[in-house]
């Protein structure tokens, strides 16, 4: 199957998914969107009110800020793939629960395998925890780490920066580093240790 076909299949399956409780309250699933050959995948937490209404990721206030951050590094949302760790809205925007994250993980895994991006940017702590389970976002944000051959770059969630104005400049500075980290990835690809997913972050070499 071609990557675009896999992404369509994942979207169809997420739309009909009943693996966790979130299907009861969702209006529609929000599988994610972007080119099947995107070089970067951004992974947020889960759909909010507007995303649940429209079936598209990051279309509310956090999405507007994400688009501004992308523009600051000369990218548009059409050039990147944007998705979430859970594809259905947690009621009242509560945190996704462990069973929900586990139920939805297969969809995200298939998206990542299909797109095969060089870089994954995690937005917020739930997305970070999927790749680096014990890492603290305050310690690792803006630093790149290689996980299963891919560059993972943890960032604060754009919504966190909207709620906590002091984080705004931190998020902007982390985004400003992204192009440099991506080109450094080319150079350092073979020199960096390859780390298995879910490895204890104490053993991770951040650079
Ligand atoms: N916040 C997220 O984490 N994801 C979205 O799609 C929208 C807001």
Distance 88 CA to ligand 1 centre (A): 10
Ligand 1 pocket member 58 (CB < 6 A) = yes
Q: Which of 40, 47, 21, 185 is nearest to 119 (CA)?
A: 40
**Centroid of ligand 1 to alpha carbon of 36 (angstroms):** 20
Q: Is 205 a domain residue?
A: no
When divided into structural domains, the chain yields a total of 1
Domain span at 27:
3-186
Mean pLDDT for 7-27 is: 98
Q: Given a cut of 60, is residue 188 above it in pLDDT?
A: no
pLDDT > 50? residue 207: no
User: Cα–Cα distance between 84 and 150 in angstroms, integer?
Assistant: 18
Tell me what the mean pLDDT of segment 175-197 comes to.
Answer: 65
Classify residue 203: in a domain, yes or no. no
Tell me what pLDDT residue 185 has.
58
Domain membership flag for residue 195: no
CA of 69 relative to ligand 1 center, distance in Å: 15
Domain annotation covers residue 196 = no
Confirm whether 202 is domain-assigned.
no
Encoded tokens for 22: 């979130």
Q: Which of 35, 12, 30 is nearest to 81 (CA)?
A: 35
> Residue 199 domain-assigned?
no
Residue 157: how many other CB atoms lie within 10 Å: 23
Given the CA of residue 124, which atom of ligand 1 is nearest to it? 3
Q: How far apart are CA 141 and CA 138, in angstroms?
A: 6
Q: Say yes or no: CB of residue 57 within 6 Å of ligand 1.
A: yes
- At residue 124, does pLDDT exceed 70? yes
- Residue 167: which CATH number? 3.40.470.10
**For residue 202, what pLDDT is reported?**
36
Q: Is residue 77 part of a domain?
A: yes
Q: Which residues pair with 145 in a beta bridge?
A: 152
pTM of this structure: 0.91
- Of 43, 48, 25, 24, the C-alpha closest to 33 is 43
């Amino acid at each position: 199957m071609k990557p675009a076909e896999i992404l369509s299949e994942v979207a169809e399956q997420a739309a009909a998914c009943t693996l966790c409780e979130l299907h009861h309250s969702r209006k529609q699933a929000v599988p994610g969107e972007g080119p099947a050959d995107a070089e970067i995948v951004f992974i947020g937490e889960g759909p909010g009110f507007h995303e649940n209404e429209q079936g598209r990721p990051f279309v509310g206030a956090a999405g507007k800020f994400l688009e501004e951050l992308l523009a600051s590094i000369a990218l548009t949302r059409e050039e990147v793939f944007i998705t979430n760790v859970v594809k259905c809205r947690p009621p009242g925007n509560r945190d996704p629960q462990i069973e929900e994250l586990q139920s939805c993980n297969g969809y995200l895994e298939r998206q990542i395998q299909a797109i095969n991006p060089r870089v994954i940017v995690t937005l917020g702590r739930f997305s970070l925890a999927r790749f680096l389970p014990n890492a603290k976002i305050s310690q690792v944000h803006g630093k790149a780490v290689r996980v299963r051959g891919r560059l993972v770059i943890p960032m604060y969630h754009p919504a966190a920066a909207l709620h906590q104005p002091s984080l705004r400049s931190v998020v902007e500075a982390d985004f400003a580093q992204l192009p440099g980290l991506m080109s450094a990835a080319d150079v350092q690809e073979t020199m960096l240790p390859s780390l298995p997913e879910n490895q204890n972050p104490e053993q991770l070499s951040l650079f």
